[in-house]
Structure 1
Amino acid sequence: MSLIPPFSAGTAQAKVKKAQDLWNTKDPQNVAKAYTEDSIWRNRSTFLKGHDEITSFLTTKWDREQNYRLRKELFAFQDHKIAVQFWYEYQDKEDGMKWKRCYGLEDWTFAEDGRMRKRMMSGNDIEIGEEERWFKEGVDVEEVDIGEEHW
């Protein structure tokens, strides 16, 4: 199955899950390859451009966000664009290793070759207790039942 635009429901869904799996590797250099060399990002209040800035940002992110686990779900798509809802959990190295969950949305625009040329992300973190965690070690993120109150 080709994952280049224009997207169908099937290819958009596959693209989202491929991105989820890639980000769960926590490999900044490899993740950056999924973006065009001049890709532009907004990640919360941080604005980035290009592979070097993306790689640096992700290296810092995953140094701070220990035990990171992510799930992405297709929200909407059209031609060269995909919108995604996501949740991830991590232990915050800069906040006493407290568990946190980020709830967010992303707006993706793709180049003709299927690499992302624009990523706009909005997210909010909440502190959670061990008993509130969804993505515990050994749990498949796809098998977690995320209730409507969290969508």
Structure 2
Amino acid sequence: MPRPPLPPFTEASATQKVRAAEDAWNSRDPERISLAYSEDSWWRNRSQFVTGRPAIVQFLTGKWEAELDYRLVKELWAFTGDVIAVRFAYEYHDAAGEWFRAYGNENWRFDADGLMTHRHASINDVAIDAADRRFHWDAPGPRPADHPGLSELGL
């Protein structure tokens, strides 16, 4: 089933794709999120390699068991044809209540139906004080339209 917007991407359609991905990940619903990826989608996430929707669901389920109160902001970095590059930051705390901000870059490739076939993610975590958090909205759920993005926050 097609997942618009479809490649080849324009700046507007790439931005729309990035925001749709951000909103989906902020839902923290692994089954819903997995539907944006091809059946055999291949991921490199940090040092982990994941292939296929069932593995994506398993990966994301484990992720949000460890990364609590997760909130994500993505920003379009570049695009061409069927490829989009994004930068992102997300905040979460662990079971001990320690807060972190993760910074990263992703490279995405899409098939003709707009499903992501490849995801390469490089991510670094930085410990932060709870008072230094920048992402404040009711979660799970999408970032409100009036909440600043990464550039506006200086991240």
Give the structure-2-normalised TM-score.
0.89
What residue number does 1:60 align with?
62
What residue number does 1:91 align with?
93
- Distance in structure 1 (CA, Å) of the matches to 2:21 and 2:116: 10
- One-letter amino acid matched to 1:143: H
- Distance in structure 1 (CA, Å) of the matches to 2:99 and 2:145: 16
What residue number does 2:147 align with?
143
Higher relative contact order (CA 8 A, sep 6+): 2
Q: Deviations over 1:87-122 (max 9, x none)?
A: 0000112xx120100000000000110010000000
- Distance in structure 2 (CA, Å) of the matches to 1:141 and 1:105: 22
**1:15 aligned to 11, 14, 17, which one?**
17
- Distance in structure 1 (CA, Å) of the matches to 2:137 and 2:23: 16
Dislocated runs of 4+, deviation >2 Å: 136-145
Q: What is the deviation of 1:143?
A: 2.2
- Distance in structure 1 (CA, Å) of the matches to 2:43 and 2:145: 25
Pair 1:141–1:88, CA change in 2 (3 A): farther
Unaligned runs of 5+ in 1: none
Unaligned runs of 5+ in 2: none
Tell me the matched-pair count. 145
Q: Is the contact between residue 71 and residue 141 of structure 1 (CA under 8 Å) also seen in structure 2?
A: no
RMSD of the alignment, in Å? 1.4
Tell me the SS of whatever aligns to 2:72: strand
Give the structure-1-normalised TM-score.
0.92
Identity of aligned residues (%): 45
Structure-to-structure mapping, 1:102-113, within 5 angstroms: 102-113=102-113
